[in-house]
Amino acid sequence: MRRGTLDPSPAESSASSAPPRSDWTTLRRLVPYLWDYRARMALALIFLVAAKAANVGVPLLLKELVDQLALPAGDPRALVVVPLGLLLGYAGLRFSTTVFTELRELVFAKATHGAARRIALEAFEHLHALSLRFHLDRQTGGMSRDIERGTRALQSLVSYSLYTIVPTLVELGLVLTLLGTRFDLGFVWITLSALLVYGAFTIGVTEWRTRFRREMNELDSKANARAVDALLNYETVKYFNNEAFEARRYDEGLDAYRRAQIKSQGTLSLLNAGQQLVIAASLVAMLWRATGGVVAKELTLGDLVMVNALLIQLYIPLNFLGVLYREIKQSLTDLGRMFGLLEREREVADRPGAPALAVTQGTVRFEQVGFAYHPERPILHGVCLEIPGGKTVAVVGPSGSGKSTLARLLYRFYDLPQGRITIDGQDIREVTQDSLRRAIGIVPQDTVLFNDTIGYNIAYGRPGASPAEVEAAARAAHIHDFIAAQPKGYGTAVGERGLKLSGGEKQRVAIARTLLKNPPILIFDEATSALDSANERAIQAELASAARGKTALVIAHRLSTVVDAHRIVVLQHGRIAEQGTHAELLAQDGVYARMWRLQQQGKGSD
């Protein structure tokens, strides 16, 4: 992290460090999102039962048809029963099954996609509400993969449960009732025994192999995070000829993921083989009993056909039930990871009933401010600083002295453990973050742009601004001529993180963006550090004009850019060493004077 204010730490996948959630906890967390669509759920269940009733009716129809086919040779009824009964009855039931199934999916589609949209939006908003500390520690690739999988998991979970699991259970209940009423209970006990053994085996093995799936997902997120991180830092990779190094790191992640996949596939094969053994055994027992009944004249040939058809209809979804259970378990795991992000506590949160910030004079005060990013490395020590309304105060000092930390604290990216910051007497912890940040504009040293057009990035300072206002801001930032010279003008794409623009061009876009926002309080954090001397002087004049009548905090390394500030504060080791005007500080012949002489000597040697 720049200026030594933060310790780089190995970032884990956003949710991988969180303890595993129970499936019931995840389901309870999901219920409120679906409860809003309870009417649609009820209607969908009605269509579901209707579809399964029509499906179970098919074997009953086949039994009647087969039994009625036992007619004397030449009986004219056979000509009527076979073509009309078989074609009309079978087609009608099959068509009814399809119609009710499609109606069920159509009715519930709004609930599924609506809940997924709501959760994804909440996750997106919540991530923006988390503190800067969280975002400095997270890895974008792994976190975005968690959100993507979580959103997809919701749709899969609802689809599997409502469209497959519940229909299968309904059909199972109908079949068991039919077997118990039409035949003896032996058929019911065979079916139930097979289901119990099948279910116990499936759940036991699936629970055992869930850890392999979880490990596989974590390795997938880690490999993806490494790839995204390397691509985001494309220039740094090129600067140090580390393409092969990054490829090796990515390949290590892919290889670990491959090994986890193989291990997961091996356990899956074991599960599938065991499931097929249970199903095969139950099929043999059922058909043997039915065949014996036909031979003993206790059952008709139609009964045998019906039992066989019922078993076939149960066999397919029952065989798929194991796959569904595994997918549901995985969906719950993925959904749990996203809920873990949603439940991540906000380090910085508005207090209940917090009012909006009311800016009158714009006076900013730092009162006995102490702060540390890590307890063992304090950054600021009891800093007392006032920026009078409408005045410009510059903060200078060596790297790591805490200059940029002041800007982060004023934006309330962190809450203070010691002291307070006020604007017109209002503690910034007592007002809403939205109103606070609307009142402040910043031109950062490290400018990162959206992968969009120049016009979009400037207009981002005030969404909804007219093209004329965007152009006026660009002119004030001395970048309009450059934009106009491009073939697409303000529609010119800036690339990922603005990499298609030079450092100076990106910084001028950032200046234009802040000028367009036009807030009462301004922060210039090395706002001209990427500009050449000629452009720096021109921009300095524009910044001075933009800051006229506004409260401005200027963080600078080059002292020549702050000589006209109303007051200059020198920070050293997190404490205020000196403060005064440029002339007063030179007269003191202290830290500022030494820094000034060193920079002047550097200019003379250029």
Is-contact 186 289, C-beta < 8 A?
yes
- Residue 538, judged by CB atoms within 10 A of its CB (0-12, 13-18, 19+), counts as middle
Query: How confident is the model at residue 309, as a pLDDT?
Result: 76
pLDDT attached to residue 604: 47
Q: Whose structure tokens read 């796959």?
A: 323
112 compared with 257, residue with greater pLDDT: 257
Strands 364-374 and 426-427 come out as: unpaired
Q: Are 169 and 307 contained in the same domain?
A: yes
Q: What is the pLDDT of residue 87?
A: 61
What is residue 144's predicted lDDT score, i.e. its pLDDT? 65
CB-CB contact of 313 with 59 (8 Å): yes
| Predicted confidence (pLDDT) per residue in 531-575, tens digit | 666 666 766 776 777 777 889 999 888 888 888 888 999 998 889
Amino acid at 279: I
pLDDT-derived band at 237 (thresholds 50, 70, 90) equals: confident
Q: Are residues 277 and 333 in the same domain?
A: yes
Q: Does residue 533 sit in the same domain as residue 602? A: yes
277, 311, 342 — which closes off a domain?
Answer: 342
pLDDT of residue 134: 64
Q: In what order do the strands lie in the sheet with 418-423?
A: 377-387, 364-374, 418-423, 426-427
* pLDDT one-digit tens code per residue, 386-414: 999 989 999 998 877 888 889 889 988 88
Backbone angles phi, psi at 460, to 5 degrees: -60, -20
Q: Same structural domain for residues 359 and 325?
A: no
User: For position 424, what pLDDT does the model report?
Assistant: 92
Q: What is the pLDDT of residue 15?
A: 41
Give the mean pLDDT of 484-501: 86
Instruction: Assign residue 429 the CATH number of its domain.
Output: 3.40.50.300
Higher-pLDDT residue of 290 and 459 is: 459
- Number of domains observed in the structure of the chain: 3
Residue 423 has pLDDT above 90, yes or no: yes
Contact by Cβ (8 Å): 370, 185? no
pLDDT at 355: 93
Which of the residue ranges 17-31, 105-119, 401-415 would you say has the lowest mean pLDDT?
17-31
Range of the domain at 429: 354-439+519-606
Q: What is the pLDDT of residue 77?
A: 56
Same domain, yes or no, for 169 and 300?
A: yes
- Is the Cβ–Cβ distance between 223 and 250 less than 8 Å? yes
- What's the chain's average pLDDT? 79
Q: For residue 272, which amino acid is it?
A: N
pLDDT at 138 over 70: no
Give every CB contact of residue 278 below 8 A, 6+ residues apart in sequence.
194, 197, 198, 201
Residue 240, domain CATH: 1.20.1560.10
Among 17-26, 312-321, 351-360, the minimum mean pLDDT is found in: 17-26
The domain boundary, picked from 517, 542, 569, lies at 517
User: Which pTM was predicted?
Assistant: 0.60
Residues in the chain: 606
In a domain, residue 61? The reply is yes
Instruction: Look at residue 384 and tell me whether its pLDDT is greater than 80.
Output: yes
Residue of 540 and 517 predicted with greater confidence: 517
Residue range 270-279: average pLDDT?
Answer: 83
Most confident of 285-294, 427-436, 488-497: 427-436
Identify whether 590 is part of a domain. yes
Mean pLDDT is highest, among 127-131, 316-320, 585-589, for: 585-589
- Say which residue the tokens 């490990």 belong to: 215
Phi then psi for 518, rounded to 5 degrees? Answer: 55, 55
* Residues 230 and 374 occupy one common structural domain: no
pLDDT of residue 121: 76
pLDDT at position 439 is 92
Among 12-21, 44-53, 221-230, 593-602, the minimum mean pLDDT is found in 12-21
The arithmetic mean of pLDDT across residues 445-457, rounded, is 86
Confidence of residue 459 (pLDDT cuts 50, 70, 90): very high
Tell whether 192 and 297 lie within a shared domain: yes
Q: How confident is the model at residue 72 (pLDDT cuts 50, 70, 90)?
A: low
567-572 and 575-580 as β-strands: parallel, antiparallel, unpaired? antiparallel
Q: Band the pLDDT of 364: cuts 50, 70, 90.
A: very high
Which pLDDT tens digit goes with each residue over 460-487? 888 888 999 999 999 888 889 999 999 9
Is residue 278 very low, low, confident or very high in pLDDT (cuts 50, 70, 90)? confident
Greater confidence, 329 or 80? Answer: 329
Phi, psi of 580, rounded to the nearest 5 degrees: 160, -170
Q: What is the pLDDT of residue 568?
A: 92
Q: Which residues contact 156 (CB under 8 A, 6 or more apart)?
A: 327, 328, 331
CA distance 164 to 317: 8
Residue 2 inside a domain? The answer is: no
Q: Residue 118 above 50 pLDDT?
A: yes
Angle at which helix 23-35 crosses helix 38-68, to 10 degrees, equals: 100
Final residue before a domain boundary, out of 307, 342, 377: 342
- The residue with greater pLDDT, 141 or 275, is 275
Residue 77: CB partners within 8 Å, gap ≥ 6? Answer: 68, 71
Residue type, 478: H
Residue 11 pLDDT > 50, yes or no?
A: no
- Note whether residue 33 is domain-resident: yes
Q: Which residues contact 90 (CB under 8 A, 6 or more apart)?
A: 58, 61, 62
CA nearest to 514, candidates 546, 554, 479:
546
**% helix, strand, coil for the chain, step of 5:** 65, 10, 25
Query: What is the predicted pLDDT for the residue at 129?
Result: 67
Position 12 scores a pLDDT of 38
Does 523 lie in the same domain as 513? no
Q: Which amino acid makes up residue 547?
A: A
Least confident of 70-84, 240-254, 459-473: 70-84
Task: Check: CB of residue 567 under 8 Å from CB of residue 578.
Answer: no
- What number is the average pLDDT over the span 307-333? 72
State residue 471's pLDDT score: 92
Q: What is the mean pLDDT of residues 38-57?
A: 78
- Do 573 and 549 fall into the same domain? yes
Looking at the fold, whether 305 and 409 belong to one and the same domain comes out as no
311 and 235 inside one domain: yes
In angstroms, the CA 381 to CA 417 distance is: 11
Looking at the domain assignment, is residue 7 inside a domain? no
Above pLDDT 90, what percent of the chain? 13
What pLDDT does 603 receive?
57
Least confident range from 172-181, 352-361, 510-519: namely 172-181
Over 194-241, what HEC string results? Answer: HHHHHHHHHHHHHHHHHHHHHHHHHHHHHHHHHHHHHHHCHHHHHHCC
pLDDT average, residue stretch 210-233: 81
Judgement on whether residues 31 and 113 belong to the same structural domain of the protein? yes
